[in-house]
């Protein structure tokens, strides 16, 4: 199963790369130590974190912001804008102390008023649609200003993992927005000309082309070692590689197919070996029992039919591992380490189909959600379809997009086109497994996908929700994980290296990759020039 991405003519790609040369790549900027990053996709070119899940420049634009707390690469939760956090005795409040030496990029000091504004008037406002808006509206009753550097979260329910949910690992809801600036210019202007607290200050944005940043020399956590950062939108893989080889870019995200080319050119590579969790969710709500995948034997057969190790080797150059559960991060709260990936056993899969009453198989639709920059998506889905076809399950691949399918999944009841079929997801595991399980499988309304049958994991999730500490949550979450593992509602396939970065000779070291919404991204603040 070779991947469908192949390098093109490098000479032709180099000519295309020359057309992308910007003023910031000129002699003056080079003297200022400009770091040029060629990225495969900007995502949504909107810098308002309350209305997008990933801002322009993907994780790079995360350099605009600091979070309340920060998850380090090995999973430790550390202070950031928040210096400490204390849970109330009843579990329905958190008191958070803030740093007193933080300034926004316009010079305004950050205070508790900004924290309150960010949540109550930002992420929870009408029109907000960040990844956690619904959850925050449901649980947070108010954010009270205690004093200039202290806030108290007053909650409608226990939320023992709140400090994790204000970190860079889970979303953008933990960043702090400038109250005075937004009230002065409005949300629309803020989205075009953002002001944050992070190590990189916004300078300019050319739609579809580039984003420019300037290092904040007085940043509370230390200044970047480069003076400027230029993020270049370069969708074509071969062009990014050619730019690296010619010196027109210093860092670029690449696919595994390009590894030999960049390493052969003397370029260095960094990666997170298991950053992408690729899995299939079965849309069996339990309402229509005639659907084949509402039978346990069928779901297990679909699981056993997949050769995970073959996928790791053929599609990811061996840079990954078979997956057992999702979220699969071993640092995730409640992660049950004893669970192992199901083996490849097509003969047993066929027996299970016969036992379920489908000796000749059945038809299924596999909805796929392509992810920007993940070029192995097509061969991956084709491989899954091939494995299922081999046991008699005739698979039709239907490309779709998250915006189209999400409302359908969350509708009550789910539409017939989804029920009884499958959806392939590519995303990452976060530190907080409690939230991931809740979003995907817990049968409660308001923003949840509700993929499990009613009552299947609800008791375990509710027990976790009533816990007053992380240990109590971990037990409930582990029970929910084990139930899902045995139900085969979700079929984790591989944890793979979907994100790889190559960098050139201008950089002596890149430093540790930075966690960002589960993904690892280059830490350009730590990048050191030669």
The pLDDT tens digits of the residues spanning 270-287 come to 876 555 678 888 866 555
**pLDDT of res. 484:** 87
Cis peptide preceding 327, ω within 30 of 0: yes
Whether the per-residue pLDDT at 348 is higher than 90: the answer is: yes
**pLDDT of res. 265:** 84
Q: Which residue has the higher pLDDT, 376 or 70?
A: 70
Sign of the CA dihedral with 409 first, then 490, 443, and 169 last: negative
Please say whether the beta carbons of 431 and 521 come within 8 A: no
**pLDDT of res. 8:** 41
Helix (H, G, I), strand (E, B) or coil at 8: coil
Whether the per-residue pLDDT at 15 is higher than 50: the answer is: no
**pLDDT of res. 143:** 98
Please say whether the beta carbons of 139 and 157 come within 8 A: yes
**pLDDT of res. 4:** 34
Helix (H, G, I), strand (E, B) or coil at 94: strand
Whether the per-residue pLDDT at 361 is higher than 90: the answer is: yes
Of the ranges 377-391, 420-434, 453-467, the best mean pLDDT one: 377-391
Mean pLDDT of the chain: 82
The percentage of the chain sitting over the pLDDT mark of 70, rounded to a whole number, equals 80
Burial class (CB in 10 A: 0-12, 13-18, 19+), 517: buried
**pLDDT of res. 278:** 83
The continuous run of DSSP H or E covering 308 comes out as helix 308-316
Please say whether the beta carbons of 291 and 283 come within 8 A: no
Q: Which residues contact 351 (CB under 8 A, 6 or more apart)?
A: none
Average pLDDT, integer, range 396-420: 73
Helix axes 470-487, 458-465, angle to 10 degrees: 170
Confidence band, pLDDT 50/70/90 cuts, at residue 432: low
Whether the per-residue pLDDT at 521 is higher than 80: the answer is: no
Nearest to 159 by CA among 176, 179, 145, 173: 173
**pLDDT of res. 499:** 66
pLDDT in tens, 221-239: 999 999 999 999 998 989 9
**In the block, residue with structure tokens 């990933």:** 54
**pLDDT of res. 530:** 85
Helices and strands, counts by H and E, the chain: 17, 23
Q: Identify the bridge partners of residue 210 per DSSP, sorted by sequence position.
A: 206, 232
- What's the whole-model pTM score? 0.74
**pLDDT of res. 346:** 98
**pLDDT of res. 131:** 72
Whether the per-residue pLDDT at 9 is higher than 50: the answer is: no
Whether the per-residue pLDDT at 7 is higher than 50: the answer is: no
Domains in the chain: ranges and CATH:
10-64+198-272+499-529 (3.40.190.10), 69-180 (3.90.76.10), 276-496 (3.10.105.10)
Please say whether the beta carbons of 477 and 334 come within 8 A: yes
Terminal Cα-to-Cα distance of the chain (whole angstroms)? 40
Beta strands 507-509 and 490-496 are: unpaired
Please say whether the beta carbons of 294 and 452 come within 8 A: no
**pLDDT of res. 30:** 47
């Amino acid at each position: 199963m070779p991947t469908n991405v192949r390098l093109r003519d490098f000479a032709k790609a180099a000519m295309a790369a020359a057309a992308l040369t910007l003023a910031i790549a000129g002699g003056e900027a080079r003297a200022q130590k400009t770091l040029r990053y060629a990225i495969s996709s900007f995502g949504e070119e909107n810098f308002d974190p309350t209305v997008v899940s990933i801002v322009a420049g993907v994780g790079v634009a995360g350099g605009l912001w600091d979070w309340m707390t920060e998850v380090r690469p090995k999973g430790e939760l550390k202070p950031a804008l928040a210096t400490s956090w204390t849970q109330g005795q009843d579990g329905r409040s958190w008191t958070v102390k803030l740093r007193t030496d933080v300034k926004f990029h316009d010079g305004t000091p950050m205070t508790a008023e900004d924290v309150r504004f960010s949540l109550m008037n930002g992420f929870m406002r009408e029109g907000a649609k960040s990844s956690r808006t619904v959850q925050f509206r449901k649980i947070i009753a108010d954010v009270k200003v205690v004093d200039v550097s202290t806030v108290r979260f007053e909650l409608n329910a226990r939320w023992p993992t709140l400090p994790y949910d204000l970190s860079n690992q889970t979303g953008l809801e933990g960043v702090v927005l400038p109250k005075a600036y937004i009230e002065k210019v409005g949300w629309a202007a803020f989205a075009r000309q953002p002001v944050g607290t992070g190590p990189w200050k916004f300078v300019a944005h050319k739609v579809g082309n580039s984003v420019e940043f300037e290092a904040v020399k007085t940043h509370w956590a230390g200044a970047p070692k480069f003076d400027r950062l230029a993020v270049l939108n370069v969708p074509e893989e071969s062009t990014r590689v050619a730019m690296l080889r010619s010196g027109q870019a210093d860092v670029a995200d690449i696919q595994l197919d390009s590894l030999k080319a960049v390493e052969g050119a003397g370029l260095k590579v960094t990666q997170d070996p298991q950053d992408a969790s690729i899995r299939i969710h079965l849309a069996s709500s339990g309402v229509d029992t005639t659907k084949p995948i509402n039978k346990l034997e069928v779901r297990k057969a679909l699981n056993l039919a997949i050769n995970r190790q073959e996928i790791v080797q053929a599609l990811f150059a061996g840079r990954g591992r078979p997956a057992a559960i999702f979220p699969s991060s071993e640092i995730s709260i409640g992660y049950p380490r004893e669970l192992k990936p199901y083996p490849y056993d097509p003969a047993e899969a066929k027996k299970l189909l016969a036992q379920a009453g489908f000796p000749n198989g059945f038809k299924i639709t596999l909805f796929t959600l392509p992810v920007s920059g993940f070029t192995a998506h097509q061969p991956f889905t084709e491989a899954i379809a091939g494995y299922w076809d081999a046991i008699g399950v005739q698979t039709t691949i239907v490309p779709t997009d998250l915006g189209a399918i999400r409302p359908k999944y969350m509708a009550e009841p789910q539409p017939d086109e989804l029920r009884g079929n499958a959806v392939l997801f590519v995303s990452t595991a976060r530190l907080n497994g409690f939230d991931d399980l809740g979003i995907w499988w817990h049968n409660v309304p308001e923003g949840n996908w509700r993929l499990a049958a009613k009552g299947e994991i609800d008791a375990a999730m509710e027990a976790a929700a009533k816990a007053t500490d992380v240990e109590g949550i971990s037990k409930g979450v582990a029970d929910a994980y084990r139930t899902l593992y045995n139900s085969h509602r979700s079929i984790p396939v591989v944890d793979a290296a979907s994100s790889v970065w190559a960098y050139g000779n201008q950089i002596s070291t890149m430093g540790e990759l930075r966690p960002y919404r589960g993904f690892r991204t280059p830490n350009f603040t730590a990048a050191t020039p030669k």
